[in-house]
Amino acid sequence: MEKIAIASGKGGVGKTSLTLIIANFLKSKGFKVGLLDADIHGPNLVELLVSENFKATIKNDENDNKFQPQLINNFVLNSIDFVIDKENAAIWRGPLISKAIKQLYLNTNWGKLDYLLIDMPPGTGDAYLTILDSLGIEKILLIAVEDEFCISNLHKTCSLLSKLQKHPLGIIENLSESFSEPCSPIKSERIKKEFTDEILFVLPRLSRKDFYQEVLNLDKLRKYIPENFLK
Ligand SMILES: Nc1ncnc2c1ncn2[C@@H]1O[C@H](COP(=O)(O)OP(=O)(O)OP(=O)(O)O)[C@@H](O)[C@H]1O
Ligand SMILES: [Mg+2]
């Protein structure tokens, strides 16, 4: 099973959305995909996938006392959202965050998966140390937006990664507003200049309505993802 963390420096750049877009891409290629929501303070992977009223409670498997994950849109999914009330987890401090992430990762019956995509919170905090250091996840995709704050925060994440001796697979540029022709976004010169990691592909900014549709069912954005992505 390939385990890939979807990370960024700044919040709100599209980690959760890209986790789902990549999951849809891999599913369309016939792969079995699991999703781990590692954003304990702000889990919204589930909200994006299902309607507001959905409330699942994760059951423990009687035989091995592990979480039985949810199966939603054919993705095998676990999130703190299933385990306790969001409001409770929102005030947890570092050690509890680490513990929760470890439990979700290690104590879930993931079954036979080709890929496990891990939706990271923003930043460089405890979740990053837990996932990348304690749990030893090696593959990381960085999400970047051509924006002053996003770039400066991404440098911080990159310096954490280099301290942990992790080498990202590359950068996915999101929310691009630069086009060479109407529908072909171009890679940001600034991101190219400031980071050694390659920009793997660029997604344009879509209207909110279109974008939500894409997250559920990849269609218009598929052409921007190279066919050999993650091969
Ligand atoms: N390419 C895009 N076009 C239009 N809207 C987008 C695009 N990418 C992301 N968004 C919107 O930007 C917002 C933030 O996206 P998302 O929640 O995926 O970011 P995030 O990095 O996971 O945020 P957080 O750090 O808070 O977890 C959402 O409302 C999402 O719909
Ligand atoms: Mg998110």
Mean pLDDT value across the chain = 91
Handedness of CA 110, 69, 118, 35 (dihedral sign): positive
How many angstroms separate the alpha carbon of residue 64 from the centre of ligand 1?
Answer: 37
- Index of the ligand 1 atom closest to the CA of residue 119: 22
How many angstroms separate the alpha carbon of residue 215 from the centre of ligand 2?
Answer: 13
Among candidates 120, 98, 89, 86, which has minimal Cα distance to 16? 120
Assigned token pair, 173: 């540029």
CA 130 to CA 36: how far, in whole Å?
Answer: 13
SS3 category, 127 = helix
CA 100 to CA 33: how far, in whole Å?
Answer: 21
Q: Is 19 in the pocket of ligand 1 (CB under 6 A)?
A: no
pLDDT in tens, 121-170: 988 889 999 999 999 899 999 999 999 999 999 999 999 999 999 999 99
Assigned token pair, 213: 């549709």
Assigned token pair, 36: 């781990």
Mean pLDDT to the nearest integer, 205-217: 94
More confident residue, 136 or 196: 196
How many angstroms separate the alpha carbon of residue 66 from the centre of ligand 1?
Answer: 31
Q: Is 3 in the pocket of ligand 1 (CB under 6 A)?
A: no
Q: What percent of the chain has pLDDT over 90?
A: 72
* pLDDT for 93: 84
* pLDDT for 96: 87
Statement: residue 99 has pLDDT above 80: yes
Q: Is 20 in the pocket of ligand 1 (CB under 6 A)?
A: no
In sequence order, the β-bridge partners of residue 195 are none
How many angstroms separate the alpha carbon of residue 127 from the centre of ligand 2?
Answer: 13
How many angstroms separate the alpha carbon of residue 121 from the centre of ligand 2?
Answer: 6
Owner of token pair 């930043």: 123
How many angstroms separate the alpha carbon of residue 64 from the centre of ligand 2?
Answer: 30
- Residue 27, judged by CB atoms within 10 A of its CB (0-12, 13-18, 19+), counts as middle
Best residue among 17, 47, 157, 219 to mutate for probing ligand 1, ranked by most atoms within 8 Å of CB? 17
- Index of the ligand 1 atom closest to the CA of residue 204: 1
| Chain centroid, CA 38 distance in Å | 8
Of all ligands present, the nearest one to the C-alpha of 48 is 1
Among candidates 151, 91, 159, which has minimal Cα distance to 124? 159
Q: Is 176 in the pocket of ligand 1 (CB under 6 A)?
A: no
